[in-house]
Amino acid sequence: MNYPQVAAQLFNRPLLAHRGHAQALAQSMAPRIFGGQVSYAGEWSAGIVGEPLREERDWNGERVYQGPRMVDGSPVAVIEAEGALVSKGKWIGALCDATSYEGIHAQITDCRRNSDIKAAILEVDSFGGSVAGAFSCADAIHRLAQEKPVLAVLTDHACSAAYLLASAASAIVMPATGLAGSVGVIMLHADFSKAYDKAGIVITPIFSGAHKDDYSPFRALDEDVFNKAKAEADTVRDMFVTAVARYRSGRIDAKQLLATEADTYLGADAAKIGLVDEIADPLLAAEAFVAEVSRKAA
C-alpha cells in the first residue's frame, strides 16, 4: 500500500525535523509512498476533536489508551515523546518509532484533571517531525507546567519539534552525550523529471489557478516557488523561536536562538547557551525528581 497521508506531510511542507532525520524519512518512505512493496499493517485512523484516542481498542477489544503511565508508587506521570513526531495516528509511545501529538494531548489532559497526579516527566528522545499540531502540543505542555511541575528528561536527543516540546516544560535535563536544538525548519522537494525523461514518459499537468501546480514532482522547482517555500519556512522558524523564547524566558532569548542557525549542541554546550538547564544522567535526574515530588505530596 502507498502512504498518501505521509507523503502529504513529508514533502513540500515545512518540517520541524533535524536534517538527518528528514533525509532518513525521505529515503525510507519514498519506496512506500511511490509504489514499493509494503505489507499491510492494519487500519490507519486519526482524530483530535473529542480525543477519540480514548475509545480506540486493540485486536482483543481492550482500550489502547488507559491513562498516563505512572511511576510506581508515586504521584508522577510519564509522558513519552519518542521517535518521529506526527500530528495524528493514535500513537502514544514509541510504537512504530513514532509518537503523536494527539496522544500527548490526551495524557496532558489527564494530568491536568487528575488531582492525584502532582507532576509529570516528559521523556524525550526524538529528532522531531511534523509542524502540524506541534505548537498546540507545546502550548498544552506549557499550560500543564504552569499548574504542576514538568521535568523534560532527554534520554538522548531533543531536536527541532522535540526540542519545542521539551522547551515548554518547567526544566530540561539532558545527558552529556545527548543533542538538543535544531531550532529551524526544513522542507523537501522531490524532482522526478529526469527519471521520467529517461523512461520516455511525458507528464503534462493540466490545472486551473496559477499556483495549483506548485511543488510538482514532475519538473524542477521554479525560482519563485522556491522563494515562496523559503518564506514559509522562515515564518515557521520565527514562530518556533518566539515560542521557545517565551517558554524559556530568562534563560535564552529570541536573538540567541536565531544565532544558533538551527545547529544542534551536545550537553555542556546546550546548557551553556541556555537550551537546557542541567546535565545529568537521565535516570538519576528522574529518580531525584520523583523523590522530591513524592516528599512534598506526602
Active site residues: 160, 212
Which of helix, strand or coil describes residue 270? helix
For residue 158, count CB atoms less than 10 angstroms from its CB and return exposed for 0-12, middle for 13-18, buried for 19 or more.
buried
3-state helix, strand, coil in the chain (%, to 5): 40, 20, 40
Nearest to 161 by CA among 101, 119, 247: 101
* CA dihedral of 11, 161, 125, 265, whole degrees rounded to 10: 110
As given in the structure block, the three cell numbers for residue 139 are: 502550548
CB-based contact 184:21 (threshold 8 Å): no
Question: What is each CA distance from 43 to 1, 29, 95, 171, 227, in whole angstroms?
Answer: 11, 18, 15, 38, 38
Tell me the C-alpha distance between 172 and 167, whole Å.
Answer: 7
Contact assessment for residue 129 and residue 16, using Cβ atoms and an 8 Å cutoff: yes
The residue among 96, 78, 111 whose CA lies nearest residue 283 is 78
Q: How many CB atoms lie within 10 A of CB 94?
A: 15
Residue 253 has phi, psi (to 5 degrees) of: -115, 175
Amino acid at 170: S
The DSSP output letter for 180 is E
**Site of grid cell 498518501:** 4
